[in-house]
Amino acid sequence: MAIQTVATTPIPGQRPGTSGLRKKVAVFRQQHYLENFVQSVFDTLGDLAGKTLVLGGDGRFHNRAAVHTILRMAAANNVARVLVGRGGLLSTPAVSCVIRKHEALGGIILSASHNPGGPDGDFGIKYNIANGGPAPEGVTDAIYQRTTTIGQYRISDDPDIDIDRIGRGYMEQMQIEVIDPVEDYAGMMEELFDFGAIRALFAGGFRMCFDAMSAISGPYAQAILEGRLGAPAGTVINAVPLEDFGGHHPDPNPVNAAQLIELMAGPDAPDFGAASDGDADRNMIVGRDFAVTPSDSLAILAANAQVAPGYRGGIAGIARSMPTSRAADRVAEALGVKLYETPTGWKYFGNLLDAGLITLCGEESYGTGSNHIREKDGVWAVLFWLNLLAATGKGVQEIVTEHWARFGRNYYSRHDYEAIDAHAAQVLMDDLRVKLSNLAGQELNNYTVDFADDFSYTDPVDASQSAQQGIRIVMTDGSRIVYRLSGTGTEGATLRIYLERYEADPSQHNIPTQQALAALIAIADSVASIAYNTGRSNPTVIT
């Protein structure tokens, strides 16, 4: 069979965002679209002879077709070996795990993560480097530059190999190994957590519901919870990954995981609830009629890390994305370790983890993880919570309220204005930037502005710089408003407003969140003239 060299021309707009290149499925199905991007990745990587790559995706519509195309392109670009998950499936954390375990050069993940799927939904592609983590900006910039000059791509016309059967095959000179998507990952979880204690918890009648939202966490959660940990069958709901996620929006927050939230609020609620997203790197933790905010979850896991065998040696440091609440900062202080504040997106944690500066990290967007891999990890976070519940014998709400009593509570909420006009969003952000220098010292709604700036970050390891990472208005009491535009959306622009207020007094820890933040919400609206600029009087989603 022959390797074809196909002439192509650059396609505009192939710049990766917060987490890879995400577009509507229809865009990805355009002629040469996927091929141009994949060839640009290969060109950026250089000589691939002798190298191993990992390949898999979250099973959304177009996953299978894309896997076959990428295999044929890898074979034509001299890749020595590809490890592909059976059925073309691998969760994002599993790709990270497999890259590291098998010392691959990197991996290609097919997913648009928390974005909806199906023929009218979104598709995405992301390159991860040898540490198992998302390619840093230097690499994604180089890939993007290549997409602007590309003139041809290479592809084999060998027949597709069977990716539904574990085993080895060849395409051209390239070896393709179809692997069990769950095995390596599940083995790693067993080393990190006290499976004996969690097994005993389930054996004692503890009940949980894990909502996989018809996405890729299902097979992992089933194999680990119902398989290795003995949880009753049916513990995992919506467990089969579907191409359109069964119509679910696989973004685990109280709005989208309404089925789980309703169950957890009902009279016969299980003890513990959890959900994950399209590619299984996010997690939502729920107690009986009680959702844990992701920022609190990070702080609580950090404060209690020693319950898990994998973290008994202690924590080197903690990192959180800038808009994530400062709950973890107080834990870091109590532990006497450093807290790092990074831009939004998991790629910024990679250097800190590689250098051993941090052990745990997280984002407000339902992402939590550690140095075990280089991606956020939904099932890992759920197992960590199970380990904590088993070790303490306490309930979710009890653990959280005790944490607040000890450290204070960071009231926190994110307001998203989705699919607004892209130009209007840009105008709003530009206007805000102009206002920044005059805000300090101003009295707004009983708050005094301490400082206002546009967050920029210098990586402490390689000194790389990232500017314009979110506009923040910080009050003298530490309360904050942060404005950012999403880098994962595929329609117009999405404006995210993050709101945070600290409350030390335990007698004030039971105010409904939106009420506790009402004054800040009003300030956020008036400073940015949101209604005027976007034509919207209310956010699309409040989490």
Phi, psi of 321 (to 5 degrees): -70, 155
CA–CA dist 438, 452 (Å, integer):
9
Q: Is 113 in the site for Co ion (CB under 5 A)?
A: yes
> Residues 399, 358, 189, CA angle at the centre, nearest 5°?
65
CA–CA dist 349, 258 (Å, integer):
31
Residue selected from 35, 58, 122, 363 as contacting ligand VG1 according to rule CB under 6 A = 363
Show the binding pattern over residues 129-158: x = contacts Co ion (CB under 5 A), - = does not. Answer: ------------------------------
Query: What DSSP string runs through 456-500?
Result: -EE-TTT--EE----EEEEETTS-EEEEEE-SS-SSSEEEEEEEE
Minimum distance between the CB of residue 108 and ligand VG1, rounded to whole angstroms? Answer: 14
Tell which positions 268-297 bind ligand VG1, by CB under 6 A. Answer: 277, 281-282
Tell which positions 320-359 bind ligand VG1, by CB under 6 A. Answer: 321, 344-346
Which partner from the list ligand VG1, Co ion, none does 487 bind, CB cut-off 5 to 8 Å by kind? ligand VG1
Tell which positions 248-307 bind Co ion, by CB under 5 A. Answer: 277, 279, 281-282
Residue selected from 39, 222, 365, 370 as contacting ligand VG1 according to rule CB under 6 A = 365
- 19 belongs to the catalytic site: no
Q: Is 370 in the site for ligand VG1 (CB under 6 A)?
A: no
CA–CA dist 411, 505 (Å, integer):
12
Which partner from the list ligand VG1, Co ion, none does 496 bind, CB cut-off 5 to 8 Å by kind? ligand VG1
Q: Is 154 in the site for ligand VG1 (CB under 6 A)?
A: no
CA dihedral 332, 337, 338, 340 (to 10 degrees): -50
Nearer to ligand VG1, 150 or 260 (CB): 260
Neighbours of 1 (CB within 10 A): 11
Q: b/e map of 267-295 (b: 16 or more CB within 10 Å)?
A: eebbbbbbbbbbbbbbbbbbbeebbbbbb
Catalytic residue among 91, 113, 370, 413: 113
Residue selected from 63, 96, 113, 256 as contacting ligand VG1 according to rule CB under 6 A = 113
Strands (E), 347-503: 360-363, 367-370, 409-420, 443-444, 447-454, 457-458, 465-466, 471-475, 480-485, 493-503
CA–CA dist 415, 500 (Å, integer):
11
Which partner from the list ligand VG1, Co ion, none does 413 bind, CB cut-off 5 to 8 Å by kind? none
In the bound state, the residue with its beta carbon closest to ligand VG1 is 113
Report yes or no: 14 and 36 within 8 Å, Cβ to Cβ: yes
Nearer to ligand VG1, 346 or 447 (CB): 346
Nearer to ligand VG1, 133 or 181 (CB): 133
Residue selected from 14, 16, 19, 238 as contacting ligand VG1 according to rule CB under 6 A = 19
CA–CA dist 210, 218 (Å, integer):
9
Which partner from the list ligand VG1, Co ion, none does 18 bind, CB cut-off 5 to 8 Å by kind? ligand VG1
Minimum distance between the CB of residue 77 and ligand VG1, rounded to whole angstroms? Answer: 26
Residue with tokens 């607040």, as numbered in its chain: 404
Amino acid at 100: R
Which partner from the list Co ion, ligand VG1, none does 346 bind, CB cut-off 5 to 8 Å by kind? ligand VG1
Minimum distance between the CB of residue 21 and ligand VG1, rounded to whole angstroms? Answer: 12
Report yes or no: 282 and 366 within 8 Å, Cβ to Cβ: yes
| DSSP-assigned beta bridge partners for residue 449 | 475
Which partner from the list ligand VG1, Co ion, none does 324 bind, CB cut-off 5 to 8 Å by kind? none
Catalytically active residues are 113
Per CB under 5 A, residues contacting Co ion are 113, 277, 279, 281-282
